């Protein structure tokens, strides 16, 4: 029997959230039922709930930064047990057969993975995410949250953490590597902490100096603004730029802050097309790249890394009634540094 669980849904693009219920499927042989304790609010939730990335499925229950405790497991489950502290990130299934899935890069599944929300299961039923009290997920797409990180500060690691950890590792952030993090919001503040823990020299490029003290506390070595004069002064400086900005950027000015062979990686996914001049790349054999969350194996590696280094998100915990207000504050860059919904406040 499927179960009916409380959730927060938005009925149409940009509409207010309201309490509702959704169905979770009957526990299959390899399924895990988890009690969700906290769900982070990612800017991607806002892009999708407001229809900024094209067609969205409504009603929508967003949430792909999920942390909770296992309530029940199917007969064939071996990876998780009742009582385990676990997390679920941006996808809940993939084909498991294509070269990318086999390589542990399920985020690039050739047949398209099944996103935690705003997507459909194979039978066409919509997926509903973490702004809810319980969820059923195949054990292979459930992560273990190590002891030493509490569930509230762990939740944002399931998207913001892995989305920054993966490119930092892929492009070799470490001792002697100069990394710039553009935008210090949910993703950006974790990028700073992780890059610092990896041993890189970290510079934040923010559109304001108002978060400078925080940035230095998170491990940044330098904190600058992205204004024209500063970017000109910083030309040729960085080996790697992680761009987490959700809005339009003067891409050329940032590309020119890269040193020879440097790479600028977009993880921020703004609504509009971005522009750059070929000469900004040609001038220093530079690369412009993108990165999408991370695979299951790397997500577990990231959680273990964060536990070892004492890294959690900086959070503001909110109730179910505060979500609309929180969305506006995220868009206004007025969040320190991730909103996390206490899902105990969702039931009517
Ligand atoms: P966020 O908390 O809103 O942070 C974005 C930051 O960008 C802000 O804190 C702000 O930093 C900067 N910013 C915002 N508006 C700006 C503007 N108009 N001009 C200049 N800077 C501005 O968002 P997030 O949750 O970290 O997500 C960031 C982006 O990454 C979103 O587009 C999201 O959809 C995307 N994302 C991508 C992936 C992926 O796999 N690639 C995964 C998750 C999220 P400062 O105040 O420091 O300037
Ligand atoms: Zn996200
Ligand atoms: Zn696949």
Tens of pLDDT, residue by residue over 189-205, are 999 999 999 999 999 99
**pLDDT on residue 216:** 98
Q: Say yes or no: CB of residue 267 within 6 Å of ligand 1.
A: yes
Q: How far away, in angstroms, is 136 Cα from ligand 1 center?
A: 29
CB contact at 8 A, 271 and 47:
yes
Q: Which atom number of ligand 1 is nearest to the Cα of residue 330?
A: 3
Q: How far is the CA of 102 from the centre of ligand 1 (A)?
A: 31
Tell me, using a 6 A CB cutoff, whether residue 208 lines ligand 1. yes
pLDDT tens by residue, 232-261: 999 999 999 999 999 999 999 999 999 999
Is 348's pLDDT higher than 90?
no
Give the distance (Å) from ligand 1 centre to CA of residue 224. 17
Sheet with 287-290, side-by-side order of all strands: 222-225, 201-206, 178-182, 238-243, 258-266, 287-290
73: alpha, beta or left? (left if phi > 0; alpha if psi -120 to 50):
beta
Q: Evaluate if residue 74 carries a pLDDT over 90.
A: yes
206 lines ligand 1 (CB under 6 A): yes
pLDDT tens for residues 289-345? 999 999 999 999 999 999 999 999 999 999 999 999 999 999 999 999 999 999 999
Q: Give the pLDDT of residue 254.
A: 98
Query: What pLDDT score was predicted for residue 319?
Result: 98
Average pLDDT, the chain: 97
Cβ(41) to ligand 1 under 6 A? Answer: no
Q: How far apart are CA 100 and CA 121, in angstroms?
A: 20
Atom 7 in ligand 1: residue holding the nearest Cα? 245
CA of residue 107 to ligand 3 center, whole Å: 8
Residue range 217-226, pLDDT digits in tens = 999 999 999 9
Confidence tier at 63 by pLDDT (50, 70, 90): very high
The whole-number average pLDDT for the span 170-178 is 98
From the list 348, 283, 327, 301, the residue with the least C-alpha distance to 143 is 301
What mean pLDDT comes out for the span 107-114?
97
Minimum-distance ligand 1 atom for the alpha carbon of 187: 26
What's the gap in Å between 295 CA and the centre of ligand 3? Answer: 11
pTM for this model (two decimals):
0.98
């Amino acid at each position: 029997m499927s179960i009916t669980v409380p959730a927060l849904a938005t009925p149409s693009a940009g509409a207010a959230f309201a309490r509702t219920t959704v169905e979770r499927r009957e526990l299959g042989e390899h399924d895990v039922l988890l009690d969700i304790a906290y769900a982070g609010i990612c800017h991607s939730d806002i892009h999708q709930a407001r229809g900024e990335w094209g067609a969205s499925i409504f009603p929508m229950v967003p949430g792909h930064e999920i942390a909770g405790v296992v309530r029940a497991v199917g007969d064939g489950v071996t990876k998780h047990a009742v009582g385990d502290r676990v997390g679920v990130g941006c996808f809940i299934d993939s084909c498991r057969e294509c070269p990318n899935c086999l390589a542990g890069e399920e985020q690039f599944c050739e047949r398209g993975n099944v996103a935690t929300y705003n997507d459909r299961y194979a039978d066409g039923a919509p997926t509903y995410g973490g702004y809810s009290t319980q969820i059923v997920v195949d054990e292979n797409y459930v992560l273990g949250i190590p002891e030493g990180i509490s569930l509230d500060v762990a939740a944002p690691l399931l998207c913001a953490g892995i989305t920054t950890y993966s490119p930092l590792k892929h492009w070799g952030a470490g001792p002697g590597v100069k990394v710039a993090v553009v935008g210090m919001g949910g993703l950006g503040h974790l990028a700073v902490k992780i890059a610092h823990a990896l041993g890189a020299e970290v510079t934040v490029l923010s559109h304001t100096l108002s978060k400078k003290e925080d940035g230095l506390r998170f491990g940044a070595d330098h904190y600058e603004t992205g204004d024209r004069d500063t970017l000109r002064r910083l030309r040729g400086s960085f080996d790697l730029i992680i761009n987490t900005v959700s809005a339009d950027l003067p891409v050329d000015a940032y590309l020119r802050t890269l040193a020879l062979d440097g790479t600028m990686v977009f993880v921020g996914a703004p609504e509009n097309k971005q522009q750059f001049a070929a000469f900004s790349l040609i001038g220093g054999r530079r690369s412009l790249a993108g990165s999408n969350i991370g695979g299951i194996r790397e997500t577990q590696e990231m959680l273990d890394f964060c536990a070892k280094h004492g890294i959690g998100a900086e959070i503001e915990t909110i109730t179910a009634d505060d979500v609309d207000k929180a969305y506006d504050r995220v868009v206004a860059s007025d969040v320190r540094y991730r909103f996390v919904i206490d899902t105990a406040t969702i039931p009517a």
